[in-house]
Structures are given as structure tokens and as C-alpha cells.
């Protein structure tokens, strides 16, 4: 089975998750502080090598009606640039409710706002990747 990396791209932070070798579960790995597209792509390439990822799944933030807004277009631009630099498939996955789901879970677990900010991106990446794995 192949190992898959999931990314939740944000304006300030990008969450990173990686599947187990069986492709059953997603584990949160880290949160990248966003610098520039070029630097972020270089770092993601290093992570692909480190985790031996054979595919990258990037959360695509669609609007509730399924249309693409400015945020989604930014993600698609990033995906195109990443595809030019890596020799593995890079796909997008509808992430409409992933961050909302994580926020609700953390609030119900009574996690402080400060702590939520630290883990929300990583957990959103886990949800994006887990939903993708479950669909396969």
C-alpha cells in the first residue's frame, strides 16, 4: 500500500498529516508556518521524501454551494506549482467542513482557544486525509 500525505493549506499555517503504510489511518505530523509559495513547496518536497509519500492530497476549500472562491483558487494555483516540482500525484479533496468539525470537537473537549490555534490546522489535515482514505 502507499503512504499518502494530506495538507490543509492556510494563509498563516499549513497542517500536515500522513497515512499509515496500510492507507487506513491519518496521523497529524506538523504545522508549517507559511513563508512564501516557493519556500513552502521546497519544504513540502522535503516532507514527501521524509515520509516516503507516494501521493499528496490537498484540501480544497469550496463554498457551500460547491463553487470556488478566491481561497480555493489560491489552493489550485499552489497545487499546480507543487505538481511541477514532484513526481507523484497531487490531488485535491473537498474540505468544506473539516476545519469547522475540528473546531467543534476541540470546543466540546474544552480545549482553550490558544491551544486550539496550535492544533487546528494539523487536525484539519488529518480529517481531509482520513476522509480521502475512507473514500478509496
Which domains does the chain show, CATH number per domain? 4-135 (3.30.420.140)
Residue 97 confidence (pLDDT) above 70: no
Q: Is the pLDDT of residue 89 over 70?
A: yes
Average pLDDT for residues 39-48, to the nearest whole number?
97
pLDDT reported for residue 1 = 67
**Predicted confidence band of residue 64 (pLDDT cuts 50, 70, 90):** confident
5-29 per-position pLDDT tens digit: 999 998 899 999 999 999 899 999 9
| pLDDT at 124 exceeding the cut of 70 | yes
| Continuous segment of H or E residues that includes residue 75 | helix 70-85
DSSP bridge partners of 31 = 15
pLDDT number for residue 119: 77
Residue 28 is predicted with a pLDDT of 93
Segment 84-92 mean pLDDT = 96
DSSP state of 66: S
Q: Is the pLDDT of residue 102 over 70?
A: yes
> What is the average pLDDT value for the chain, to the nearest integer?
90
Mean local confidence (pLDDT), 64-82 = 92
| Beta strand pairing call for 4-8 and 55-60 | parallel
Amino acid at each position: 500500500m502507499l503512504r499518502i500525505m494530506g495538507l490543509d493549506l492556510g494563509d498563516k499555517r499549513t497542517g500536515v498529516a500522513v497515512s499509515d503504510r496500510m492507507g487506513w489511518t491519518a496521523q497529524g505530523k506538523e504545522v508549517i508556518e507559511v513563508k512564501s509559495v516557493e519556500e513552502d513547496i521546497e519544504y513540502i518536497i522535503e516532507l514527501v521524501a521524509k515520509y516516503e509519500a507516494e501521493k499528496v492530497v490537498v484540501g480544497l476549500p469550496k463554498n457551500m454551494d460547491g463553487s470556488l472562491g478566491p481561497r480555493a483558487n489560491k489552493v489550485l494555483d499552489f497545487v499546480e506549482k507543487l505538481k511541477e516540482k514532484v513526481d507523484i500525484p497531487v490531488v485535491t479533496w473537498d474540505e468544506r467542513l473539516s476545519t469547522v468539525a475540528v473546531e467543534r470537537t476541540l470546543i466540546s473537549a474544552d480545549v482553550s482557544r490558544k491551544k486550539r490555534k496550535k492544533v487546528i490546522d494539523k487536525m484539519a489535515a488529518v480529517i481531509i486525509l482520513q476522509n480521502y482514505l475512507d473514500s478509496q
